[in-house]
Amino acid sequence: MGNTKKNWPLWEIFVRSKNGLEHRHFGSLHAADAEMALENARDVYTRRNEGVSIWVVESKHITASNPQDNGEMFEPAQDKVYRHPTFYDLPDDVKHM
């Protein structure tokens, strides 16, 4: 114990709640390897019938954008309303747009 104690790596858990829908990020948990991560995810996130499929990926493999770069990354898109298809009249029958 003490200094010799090692923590299991962190894993990000993605669950698809229904066939036809996409996997969504549900949270993260600790596990020694991918197989254990799947089993842990099953127990932690799907015990109330939340899912039909699970993906796990070790957190260290995720490359994230840097919040310091938010200005150059995201602000240029803020004033370009013409990039949204909002200038069309959608027929009432078209849903999920």
Partner 1 sequence: MKENLYKYILGIADNSLILAQRLGELCGHGPSLETDIALTNISLDLLGQTRSYYQYAAKLAGEDKTEDDIAFLRIEREYKNVLLVEQPNTHFGHVMARQFLFDVYHLMLMEQLQNSKDETLAAIAKKGIKEVSYHKRFSSDWVKRLGDGTEESKEKMQEAINAMWRFTDELFDVMEADKAMIEEGIAVDVSEMKETYYEKVSEILEKATLEVPERKYFTRGGKKGVHTEHMGYLLADLQYMQRTYPNMTW
Residues near partner 1, by CB under 8 A: 8, 29-32, 35-36, 39-40, 43-44, 47
Least distance (Å) from partner 1 to the CB of residue 66? 30
- Residue 77 corresponds to which tokens in the numbers above? 């898109």
Least distance (Å) from partner 1 to the CB of residue 35? 7
Whichever of 6 and 95 has its CB closer to partner 1, that residue is 6
User: What secondary structure does DSSP assign to the chain, as a single string?
Assistant: -GGG--PPPEEEEEEE-STTSPPEEEEEEE-SSHHHHHHHHHHHHSTTS--SEEEEEEGGG-----GGGHHHHHGGGTT-GGGSS-SSPPPTT----
Whichever of 35 and 50 has its CB closer to partner 1, that residue is 35
Whichever of 6 and 84 has its CB closer to partner 1, that residue is 6
Question: 7, 32 in Cβ contact below 8 A?
Answer: no
Least distance (Å) from partner 1 to the CB of residue 47? 6
Least distance (Å) from partner 1 to the CB of residue 5? 12
